[in-house]
Amino acid sequence: MSAQQTIHVGGEWREAASGATREILDPASATPFAVVAEGGAEDTDAAIAAARAAFDRGQGEWPRTPVAERAALLRRVAALLRRDREELGLLESRDAGKTLEEGRVDVDCVADAFAYFADLVMNESGRVVDAGSPDVHSVVVHEPVGVCALITPWNYPLLQASWKIAPALAAGNTFVVKPSELTPLTTVALIRLLTEAGLPDGVANLVTGPGSTVGARLAEHPGVDLVSFTGGLDSGTKVMRAAAGSVKKVALELGGKNPNVVFADACTDDAGFDTAVDQALNAAFIHSGQVCSAGSRLIVEESLRDRFVAELARRADRIRLGHGTDKDAECGPLVSAQQLAKTEEYVASALADGAVLRAGGTRPEGPGYEGYFYRPTVLDRCHRAMRVVREEVFGPVLTVETFRTEDEAVALANDTEYGLAGGVWSGDPGRARRVAGRLRHGTVWINDYHPYLPQAEWGGFGKSGIGRELGPTGLAEYRETKHVYQNLAPRPVRWFAGG
């Protein structure tokens, strides 16, 4: 396989039909370090045809493979991921600009997801329905949806692909995956592992290439039964529109503008204060804020604001930026020049609207910062009219708003068109649960931020998306449900007299 053969169709690695290629940049140095095939509509059609053929073939093929064998394959994939942890973690770090440790953690989470769906699918086998007659046998069974198009973003390339691929395979589907054009390398590596684990040819297909051609074709193609998309709101809206023409199933995991609500009663002693500040930093700045669930809106009780923001800013200024493989680096760069420019533009607009800069607000200077680095930035005195508070920046930018009452805190936290995730910090468990119950977000953390569990659903309210990944619902997305009603003693119904 040559470096440019990154398109996988029917078990074969290929270059793009057009011969086009794309350089993949290391965002820490802004220099190319790999070349991949730049696929187009022709490659996409071929991949869909291969997935279609693999799905539609007869007995013994993947959709009809016994569930125990499908689960065993998923477990082998989990083991291979663990075997290749260092290599994959490094590749992800280089491609997406995250630290090596973040890359390793991603691989662990991905292996856990494969193992989880292997266990789940073994225990989710439909049900017998009591039809009210001993002469009727009625069952509800699950079947695969068909050919799935899986479209993923650049911030968690391996993880997002796996949250789709693992349940899609567990349920017996075939698929075409399209990674972000910026970060395709670990998805290519994952497809190789699926082959090594013994997945039949044609079940897993991959097209590297841009969203405007490959992604758009997958979304509109009548040969695709389901499109599962993770990415931004604009692209998600286009995918939904394109999918409507063939009424395919649509699952969308979109952006977030996530509140992290801190009550003063969470910080009544030094340990509570330290924990809430530490986790607010983690919520906002891990992976340089390029996280869909980033706690990018700090909503802090007015009486606590000055002390909290001063400490937060002091510590944000001390976050060490660097190349992912630099062992002292705590945060990597942004993924691209475009993402850096977007972040700078949001900060400039906030300052023009009256926000007060407490930390960051600039690119770091000097050797080692040739890539797309931006300092963790804290913007105080923010309010709802500012774009930086309403729109997803997807960079290391934290805005600060304040509240006086519980109702005000809830209203601010819910005042977003998104609804992906949020945090509540309180020393009063009753208040914390009450507020969590009122938040219109798909995940709420109480006295924590960011952990997720493969067995718990992930997804958003509002414009954060449609459907859920992970958990039993994450498997259900990839299944059709069929009712089979069997009459064990058939006789005429005589509804019509004519006979």
211 or 371: whose CB is closer to ligand NAD? 211
- 160 is a contact residue toward ligand NAD (CB under 6 A): yes
- By CB under 6 A, tell whether 238 contacts ligand NAD: yes
- Residue from 16, 107, 188, 239 binding ligand NAD (CB under 6 A): 239
Could you tell me which stretch among 65-73, 79-87, 145-153, 374-382 binds ligand NAD (CB under 6 A)? 145-153
Residue closer to ligand NAD (CB basis): 4 or 183: 183
Q: How far apart are CA 111 and CA 91, in angstroms?
A: 16
Among the listed residues 15, 92, 220, 292, the single catalytic one is 292
Dist. CA 332–CA 441, nearest whole Å:
28
376 part of the interface to ligand NAD, by CB under 6 A: no
- Pick the piece of the chain touching ligand NAD (CB under 6 A) from 87-95, 150-158, 298-306, 448-456: 150-158
Is there binding between residue 312 and ligand NAD (CB under 6 A)? Answer: no
**Residues of this chain, 419-458, that bind ligand NAD according to CB under 6 A:** 420
Nearest distance, CB of residue 271 and ligand NAD, angstroms: 32
Residue 259 binds to ligand NAD (criterion: CB under 6 A): no
DSSP β-ladder status, 443-446 and 421-425: parallel
From candidates 146, 256, 259, 324, binder to ligand NAD by CB under 6 A: 256
**Contact letters for ligand NAD, residues 179-218 (x by CB under 6 A):** -xx----------------------------xxx--xx--
Q: How far apart are CA 180 and CA 155, in angstroms?
A: 9
Active site residue 253: yes
Q: Give me the least distance between CB of 416 and ligand NAD, in Å please.
A: 13
Structure tokens at 213: 């051609």
Of the pair 150, 409, the CB lying nearest ligand NAD is at: 150
Q: Which stretch binds ligand NAD (CB under 6 A): 123-131, 151-159, 352-360, 445-453?
A: 151-159
State which amino acid sits at residue 486.
Answer: Q
Distance from C-alpha of 422 to C-alpha of 444, rounded to nearest angstrom: 5
Stretch binding ligand NAD (CB under 6 A), from 1-9, 149-157, 274-282, 305-313: 149-157
In Å, what is the CA distance from 156 to each residue of 26, 146, 187?
15, 25, 11
Alpha-carbon dihedral 27, 29, 33, 39, rounded to 10 degrees? 30
Decide if residue 178 touches ligand NAD (CB under 6 A): yes
For residues 323 and 441, which CB has a smaller minimum distance to ligand NAD in the complex?
441
- Give the shortest CB-233-to-ligand NAD separation in angstroms: 6
Class of residue 102 by CB neighbours under 10 A (exposed 0-12, middle 13-18, buried 19+): buried
Q: Give CA–CA dist 425/428, Å, rounded.
A: 9
Measured CA to CA, the distance from residue 347 to residue 200 in angstroms comes to 50
Choose the binding region for ligand NAD from 62-70, 154-162, 295-303, 380-388 (rule: CB under 6 A).
Answer: 154-162
Q: Say which of 253, 301, 401, 477 is annotated catalytic.
A: 253
Question: Does 255 help bind ligand NAD (rule: CB under 6 A)?
Answer: yes
Cβ at position 369, least distance to ligand NAD in Å: 23
Q: Which residues pair with 422 in a beta bridge?
A: 444
Q: Is 152 in the site for ligand NAD (CB under 6 A)?
A: yes
Q: Which stretch binds ligand NAD (CB under 6 A): 37-45, 102-110, 230-238, 474-482?
A: 230-238
From 174, 230, 260, 288, residue interacting with ligand NAD (rule: CB under 6 A): 230
Amino acid at 164: K
Q: Which residue from 232, 272, 462, 472 is in contact with ligand NAD, where contact means CB under 6 A?
A: 232
Which residues, other chains included, contact 234 with Cβ-Cβ below 8 Å and sequence gap of 6+? none
Sites for ligand NAD among residues 380-399 (CB under 6 A): 392, 394
Listed ranges 22-30, 168-176, 252-260, 483-491: which one lies at the site for ligand NAD (CB under 6 A): 252-260
How far is 313 from 462, CA to CA, in rounded Å?
Answer: 31
Q: Does 231 engage in binding with ligand NAD (CB under 6 A)?
A: yes
Residue 109 catalytic?
A: no
| Strands of the 127-129 sheet, one edge to the other | 127-129, 136-144, 479-487
Residue bearing tokens 């533009």: 345
176 binds ligand NAD (CB under 6 A): no
> Which amino acids are annotated catalytic?
253, 292
Q: Which residues bind ligand NAD (CB under 6 A)?
A: 151-156, 160, 178, 180-181, 210-212, 215-216, 219, 230-232, 235, 238-239, 253-256, 292, 392, 394, 420, 460, 464-465
